[in-house]
Amino acid sequence: MTPQHVRVVGTGLIGASIGLALRAKGVRVSLHDPSPTARALARDIGAGELDVMDEPDVVVVAAPPDVVSAVVADELKQWPTAVVTDVASVKARVLAQVRATVDPAELRRYVGSHPMAGRERSGAVAAQGDLFEGRTWVVCPAPESDPVAVTAVQHLASDCGAATVTMPASDHDLAVASVSHVPQIAASLVAARLRDISDEAIALSGQGVRDVTRIAASDPMLWTQILAGNATAVAPVIDLLAQDLRRVSEALQELGPEASPAEGARGVLARVIADGALGHARIPGKHGAAPTAYGTLLVIVPDQPGALGRLFNDMGDAGINLEDLRLEHGVGAQVGIAEVSVLPAVMERLKTVLEDNGWSVHE
Ligand SMILES: NC(=O)C1=CN([C@@H]2O[C@H](COP(=O)(O)OP(=O)(O)OC[C@H]3O[C@@H](n4cnc5c(N)ncnc54)[C@H](O)[C@@H]3O)[C@@H](O)[C@H]2O)C=CC1
Ligand SMILES: O=C(O)C(=O)Cc1ccc(O)cc1
C-alpha cells in the first residue's frame, strides 16, 4: 500500500528527488536536513514540508554514506512504528552498523535500499521528480526484517516510478562493484588523463570521450565514501582490470615502431574490443528488459536557429518516434551531425521521409 506520509532525512539530490516524485503521487512528504539551506531549498522546489512532527509511515534516509547508519538508528528510536529505509550506495556495511547499534525489535523495521539512478551533481538544486522513472531500485532486506516493512519499502520505490529488485545486501554490493563503482573509477582515471593535454588536443573531443567520462564530474566526497564502504567487493574487480590494462600495454609496446611485434599482439587488442562489445551488449534496457537494438541514421543539421526543431517536426509529422539522439559538432563546422535512433521497423520509412523533406541522410 502506498505510504501516506513519508519523512525524507537528507534533502540533497536523491532526497529532494524522492520528495518531488512522491508529492506528484499525492503522498505527504516532510523534510529534514541538518543544513538549513539544504532543507529550505528542497522545500522551495516543492519536495515537501518542513517542521512536521507527526509520525511518518516511512522514513527515507538520504544522507551521505558515512553518517547513514547513525541517522537510521536515530530515526528508528524517534519514530516507534515507522518503517525506516536508507538509499546509500553501499548496503552490507550500513546493515552491519545498524545491527550493532539498535535493539533487535527496532531492526525489524529497517530495510536498506538503493535506487540505481542518480546524477553526477549534488544537492536539491539538481533534483528531478522523474529521476527514478523506469530505473531499478534494489531492496535489501536483512534476515531480521519484518515482511511488512519490506513490502512498504518496495511500494515506496514503485511510487517513485522505479522497478524493484530484492536481494541480500552482500549480493547487492558485489553487483554494484562491477556495474557502478568500477565504472566510476574508470571514468575518473580516463578523464584525469585529459587534464594536462594541450588546448588543441582537447578541442578535438567527440562523443566517445564525452560518453566515457560523463560521471567523472561526480562529487569526490560522496565517491570516496562509496568506494571505501565497498572496498572488499571493488578491489578484486579493479585487480582484473589492472591485469587487462597491463596486457594491452604490453601488446602496444610490441607494436611500436622499433619493435618486431610478437605473434598475437594485434589479437590482444582485437580481443579487448570484442570482449567490450559483448559486455556492453549485456547491459539491460529500461526495467531490466533485454537491450533494444535501435536503427541509427546520421542526419546533417545546418547550424541555424530552429534546424533541429524542423527535424523533430518532420519525424513527428510522419508518426516516427525518436528513441535516442546524439549531436556531434565538429570544431568550427557550420553543420552538426544528429545521430537519430529509431525502432528498426521504421528505419526505411524514416530515411525516405527525411530525404523527401530535403535532409542529407547517411547510414
Ligand atoms: N548521487 C547519486 O547519484 C546517488 C546517491 N545515492 C546515495 O544517496 C545518498 C545521498 O546522496 P546525494 O543525494 O547524491 O547527496 P547530496 O550531497 O546531494 O545530499 C546529501 C544531503 O545529506 C545531508 N546530510 C549531511 N549530513 C547529514 C546527517 N547527519 N543527517 C541528515 N542529512 C545529512 C546534506 O546536508 C545534504 O543535503 C548517499 O548515501 C548516496 O550514496 C544513491 C543513488 C544515486
Ligand atoms: O549518473 C549516473 O548515471 C549514475 O549512475 C549515478 C549514480 C551514482 C551513485 C549510485 O549509487 C547510483 C547511481
Domain boundaries, the chain: 5-167, 173-287, 295-362
Predicted pLDDT of residue 336: 83
Band (14; pLDDT cuts 50, 70, 90):
very high
The reply to whether CATH 1.10.3660.10 applies to domain 173-287 is yes
* 265-281 and 231-254 helices, crossing angle to 10°: 140
Predicted pLDDT of residue 292: 61
Q: For residue 9, which atom of ligand 1 is closest to its CA?
A: 31
Q: Provide the whole-model pTM.
A: 0.83
Band (291; pLDDT cuts 50, 70, 90):
low
DSSP state string for 278-291: HHHHTS--GGGPPP
What average pLDDT does range 222-232 have in this prediction? 98
**Is the distance from the beta carbon of residue 119 to the nearest atom of ligand 2 less than 6 Å?**
yes
Quick one: DSSP state of residue 64?
-
**Is the distance from the beta carbon of residue 14 to the nearest atom of ligand 1 less than 6 Å?**
yes
Q: Give the mean pLDDT of the chain.
A: 93
Band (88; pLDDT cuts 50, 70, 90):
very high
Band (35; pLDDT cuts 50, 70, 90):
very high
**Is the distance from the beta carbon of residue 89 to the nearest atom of ligand 2 less than 6 Å?**
yes
Distances (CA, A) of 297 to 60, 210, 323, 342, 354: 44, 20, 12, 8, 10
Q: For residue 11, which atom of ligand 1 is closest to its CA?
A: 37
Is 181 a residue whose pLDDT tops 60? yes
Burial of 209 (0-12, 13-18, 19+ CB in 10 A): middle
Quick one: DSSP state of residue 89?
S
The reply to whether CATH 2.40.30.10 applies to domain 5-167 is no
Q: Which residues of 237-257 are buried (b: 16+ CB within 10 A; e: fewer)?
A: ebeeeeeeeeeeeebeebeee
Is 288 a residue whose pLDDT tops 70? no
Predicted pLDDT of residue 256: 83
Band (319; pLDDT cuts 50, 70, 90):
confident
Predicted pLDDT of residue 47: 98
**Is the distance from the beta carbon of residue 87 to the nearest atom of ligand 2 less than 6 Å?**
no
Cβ neighbours around 85 below 10 Å, total:
27
Ligand 1 geometric centre to CA of 5 (Å): 20
Selected residue with higher pLDDT from 325 and 46: 46
Is 296 a residue whose pLDDT tops 90? no
**Is the distance from the beta carbon of residue 5 to the nearest atom of ligand 2 less than 6 Å?**
no
Alpha-carbon span 209 to 206, nearest angstrom = 6
User: Which ranges of 160-306 does DSSP label H, i.e. alpha helix?
Assistant: 169-176, 182-192, 199-202, 207-213, 220-229, 231-254, 265-281
Q: For 262, phi and psi rounded to 5 degrees?
A: -70, 155
Predicted pLDDT of residue 327: 82
Selected residue with higher pLDDT from 239 and 331: 239
Alpha-carbon span 336 to 305, nearest angstrom = 12
Q: Which of 282, 242, 250 is nearest to 267 (CA)?
A: 250
Is 290 a residue whose pLDDT tops 60? no
Is 57 a residue whose pLDDT tops 90? yes
Residue appearing with cell numbers 509511515: 57
CATH class of 295-362: alpha beta
Ligand 2 geometric centre to CA of 126 (Å): 13
Band (208; pLDDT cuts 50, 70, 90):
very high
Selected residue with higher pLDDT from 210 and 324: 210
Selected residue with higher pLDDT from 186 and 316: 186
Q: Is the dihedral of CA 51, 54, 55, 58 positive or negative?
A: negative
Choice from 11, 13, 67, 125 to test ligand 1 binding pocket (greatest atom count within 8 A of CB) = 13
Alpha-carbon span 137 to 123, nearest angstrom = 20
Is 128 a residue whose pLDDT tops 60? yes
- Number of the ligand closest to the Cα of 66: 1
Is 310 a residue whose pLDDT tops 80? yes
- Number of the ligand closest to the Cα of 211: 2
User: pLDDT digit string (tens) for 149-180?
Assistant: 999 999 999 999 999 999 999 999 999 999 99
Choice from 30, 60, 85, 89 to test ligand 1 binding pocket (greatest atom count within 8 A of CB) = 89
CB of 91 closer than 8 Å to CB of 112: yes
Ligand 1 geometric centre to CA of 183 (Å): 20
**Is the distance from the beta carbon of residue 122 to the nearest atom of ligand 1 less than 6 Å?**
yes
Protein residue with its CA nearest to atom 4 in ligand 2? 118
What average pLDDT does range 225-240 have in this prediction? 98
Low-confidence winner among 31-40, 136-145, 191-200, 340-349 (lowest mean pLDDT): 340-349
Low-confidence winner among 21-25, 54-58, 166-170, 313-317 (lowest mean pLDDT): 313-317
Is 258 a residue whose pLDDT tops 90? no
What average pLDDT does range 267-290 have in this prediction? 84
Ligand 2 geometric centre to CA of 63 (Å): 15
Is 287 a residue whose pLDDT tops 60? no
Distances (CA, A) of 349 to 62, 77, 297, 352, 362: 47, 62, 12, 5, 14
Ligand 1 geometric centre to CA of 33 (Å): 10
The one-letter amino acid at 286: K
Q: Which of 86, 138, 133 is nearest to 111 (CA)?
A: 86
Residue appearing with cell numbers 568500477: 182
Predicted pLDDT of residue 98: 98
Burial of 269 (0-12, 13-18, 19+ CB in 10 A): middle
Predicted pLDDT of residue 315: 92
Predicted pLDDT of residue 137: 98
